[in-house]
Structure 1
Amino acid sequence: MKELEGLTEDQRNKIIQARQRVIESIGKNMDLYGITLSIGHLYGNMYFNGAPATLDEMSETMGMSKTSMSTGMRTLMDLKMITKVWGKGSRKDLYEVVPDWHQNFIDYFSIKWRKAVEMNSSALMKSLKEIRELKQLNEENQPLCELLIKDEEKIKEALNYYHWLLRLIDSFETGKIYELIPKEEKDF
């Protein structure tokens, strides 16, 4: 790391130790949200990297295979946590971290939540259609209709939740969430 050149060994070690603690914390945090620990560590390392890096450089830094590194980079790009950048005189792809933690959170959860909403809403709508058809075919069977009405209400409650979740996602993506919960800049 060029930025650490010119420092004493003790200074370098203290900076590296402090960074490693943060990188480990980022990795564990991302692991909680379904991203592997190693990809979390990759993001953490890139976060502290002083310049855009190639797959080879990050592979060497982290001691990961180029295949694993490529998979990790692709995952982080899909989550919009890193971007591919142009580097003068470089034929290899360069990657740098998107340092906006608020936007990273929004992008990650928006992507995951939208996918879940689509999948679950589709299953709920299919079940709702089947229940309504069954209810229509068995109008004379009072106990069955009562059961189907209860199930229909439960499914409608779930669909209302997913409709609310879409509105929440929209508030993240449009930035309206910050009207309710403004970003803060604290001096720790």
Structure 2
Amino acid sequence: MAPHYEKLEEARRDYIESLAETMEMYGLSPSMGRLFGIMFFHEEPMTLDEMRQLTGMSKTSMSTGVRALSRLKLVQKKWQKGVRKDLYQAEQDQFHSFIEFFVYLWEKEIEINEKALNSTEQKLRDLLTDPKLSPDEAALVERDLQKLAKSKQYYAWLRALVQAFKNGDIFDLVPIPDDSAK
């Protein structure tokens, strides 16, 4: 073993643990963050068995974690000639990872809430046609419809934000730092 290997691993562990903490902030398990961090530093695609050896996680947990990371496009399945087991590699471009991760979450949020908004709005509009509705109740329904209209504005804005991330327009507003200046 190289003399500085232990120090290298210690340095990597600091970042891996910060990734675990960060992923937990975004609703993922710390073990998924550690798994991503280990894969991030690994030079070659890895099998589930290799990941299990490095993390100590069970094969079931490992498989679940890799599937979740793959769904979020933080990890990709790779093919290598002569290798029969599935191989996985972490996304190295953190700008790309950020975009994929948040676009996935935001699109899910939009889908869930716009469906509920439309259903709620329709029910409220139907309620307004009820001749037995009192003026006070009608006023409540109208206020609720105004609140829903503001919510619809938010989801239209969020959809535009998602599109700005997808097509790269966001980088016109917040450019990626030029690392050649370092």
Query: 1:26-175 residue pairs with structure 2 within 5 A?
Result: 26-138=19-131, 141-175=134-168
Give the Cα separation in 1 of the matches to 2:142 and 2:29: 43
Q: Which amino acid aligns with 2:49?
A: D
- 122-131 vs 30-39, greater mean Cα deviation: 122-131
Distance 1:171 1:29 in 2: 24
**Within 1, Cα distance between the matches of 2:89 and 2:137?**
59
> Sequence identity, in percent?
38
Distance 1:140 1:22, change over 3 A: closer
Moved more, 81-90 or 34-43: 81-90
Match of 2:14 among 21, 30, 33: 21
1:29-78 C-alpha deviation (Å, 9 max, x unpaired): 01100111000000000000121110100011111111111111111111
What letter is aligned with 1:24?
A: E
| Contact 2:20–2:34 (CA under 8 A) maintained in structure 1 | yes
**Structure 2 gap segments, 5+ residues each:** none
Q: CA deviation at 1:140?
A: 7.2
Q: After alignment, is 49-58 or 177-186 more displaced?
A: 177-186
Letter in 1 for 2:139: E
Q: SS of the residue aligned with 1:96?
A: strand
Name the CA distance, whole Å, in 1 between partners of 2:40 and 2:144.
48
Structure 1 stretches of at least 4 aligned residues deviating more than 6 Å after TM superposition: none
CA–CA separation in structure 2 for the residues paired with 1:37 and 1:185 = 31
* Contact 1:138 1:144 survives alignment (8 Å): no
Asked if the contact 1:106–1:173 (Cα under 8 Å) also holds between the matched residues in 2, the reply is yes
Amino acid at match of 2:173: L
Taking the aligned partners of 2:96 and 2:23, their CA distance within structure 1 comes to 15
Q: 1:181 to 1:21 in 2, by over 3 A?
A: same
- The C-alpha deviation readout for 1:3-52, integer Å capped at 9, x for no partner, is xx5x21xx112111100000000111011001110000000000001211
RMSD of aligned residue pairs (Cα, Å): 1.5
- Cα offset, 1:144, TM superposition: 2.1
Deviation of the 1:96 alpha carbon: 0.9
Give the whole-Å Cα distance in 1 for the aligned partners of 2:133 and 2:120. 21
| CA distance in 1: counterparts of 2:107 and 2:133, whole angstroms | 40
Query: 1 CA distance for matches of 2:111 and 2:138?
Result: 28
Aligned counterpart in structure 1 of residue 176 of structure 2, from 162, 167, 183: 183
TM-score, length-scaled by structure 1: 0.91
